[in-house]
Amino acid sequence: MSSEKGLYSDMDNIKKQAIKSIIVASSGNLVEWFDFYIFAFTAVYFASDFFPKSNPTVQLLNVAGIYAVGFFMRPIGSWFFGRLADRHGRRRALIISVTMMCIGSLMVAIVPTYSSVGYFAPILLLMARLIQGFSVGGEYGATATYMSEVALSHQRGFLSSFQYVTLIGGQLLAVLTIVILEMIFTDVQLKTWAWRIPFIIGALTAIASLKLRKSMTETLTHESRTHPHAGSIHALFRYHKKAFMVVFGFTAGGSLSFYTFTTYMHKFLVNTSHLPIKTASHVMTATLFVYMLIQPVFGALSDRIGTRKSMMLFSGLGALLTYPIMTLLVHVSDPLSAFILITCAMVIISFYTSIAGVVKAQLFPIELRALGVGLSYAVANSVFGGTAEFIALYLKNINLQSYFYIYVTVILFISFLISTISLPKLNLYLSNKDES
């Protein structure tokens, strides 16, 4: 009887430790993504400060270009932090990444405008964005790896889904911050100086998250970190090239659709649907809140049906419904209709985002996991997620906006083929359910 009680006690302690680790990793993740996304949501206010006066769409296009360039630092950051995490531990990588995000946010908060320093203004803004991109490049892979490793095997989908709960939470807090600022300040104040406030908040909260991350339990063993292949990009492409390409393929569809219906959608509602800025902010706040809440539901569902079926549902439904949803959003005239349409899209994307970390982590061995997850994600995310806004705005500017919907649909269909044909053929190093 006593041994049975001891077993239950041990299980309770293991579960509590897993939950604590998830919370600690998630809190830092939330801060990182708040800092990263606030740039996109404040762009409608500061775009005119950093470029010569011109067409508003062109100004947004210029800022979107800087936003996209930040994404192209992600592969470099993912390689650096992935190697660091696989050789020296997940904890160290996560501490350094949040420190760099703090620096990038502080730079944006104090950068001078075009009227003050001319073209040095967008250059300094670009430098800050590069630092943020480098930081987030390491954040995603290390966090996805860590959360997948500390999660209990039979609840891996559910517990790992909290990576996107906090990732989306970062977006939600970014939008909510803008909503609050819009209630306090006038449009003139927001466009002249008040837009800087969120970046100051982001830098301060990043400092606070450092203390939390210092208490994290390390998951990388001495045997793993001293493995000959630990953090080796050569070993990654020699022995796990197929896994890398599969993750690249379905991340392409996941990132493109995610950024289309989250980050870009705020500008779409203002610039295409012609909703007032404040109304668009309220719509995005509501949709992101629902989106955040449903992540654990879809994560738990994947524990029952398997990650492969979740990926098939995401990419298949996304390929079928993206074009009609985007087309309807062009003509939307009231916030409720916009909310319903965007929420429908986010429900579909949740089949992917809720399991994004674990579906990638399970394809790589522990000594290459952070590098494999981070680099494959970062490259695909840079190419497809980071350019989503730029391509969408460019096609709108030349009156070919509907071509963007076709583009998203095609990439999602490719992700569907990869999920159905290639994914089942790979080894699973982390598995919580038979994927047959």
Domain count, the chain: 1
Q: What is the pLDDT of residue 387?
A: 86
* Blockwise average pLDDT, block size 10, the chain, 436 residues: 48 69 78 80 78 68 74 87 92 90 90 81 86 85 85 77 86 84 89 90 86 82 88 92 93 94 89 88 89 94 91 96 96 94 97 91 92 92 86 90 95 95 80 43
pLDDT of residue 431: 55
**373 lies in some domain:** yes
Structural domain contains residue 435: no
- Report d(CA 168, CA 293) in Å as an integer: 9
Tokens matching residue 241: 């090239």
Question: Cβ distance 137 to 415 under 8 Å?
Answer: no
Which residues does 416 contact at the CB level (< 8 Å), separation at least 6?
253, 312, 315, 316, 319
Distance CA 136, CA 346 (A): 22
∠ CA 84-89-94, rounded to 5°: 75
Angle at 283 between CA 280 and CA 288, to 5 degrees: 120
Q: Name the token pair of 415.
A: 């992700």
Alpha-helix runs per DSSP H in 161-276 = 162-184, 187-192, 197-213, 222-225, 233-239, 241-261, 263-271
Q: Domain containing 397: what range? A: 21-215+232-425
CB 66 within 8 A of CB 289: no
**pTM given for the model:** 0.82
Distance CA 292, CA 350 (A): 9
The CATH number of whichever domain residue 28 belongs to comes to: 1.20.1250.20
Residue 220: inside a domain = no
Q: Which residue has the tokens 């390409």?
A: 245
Domain-located, residue 7: no
Q: How far apart are CA 178 and CA 285, in angstroms?
A: 10
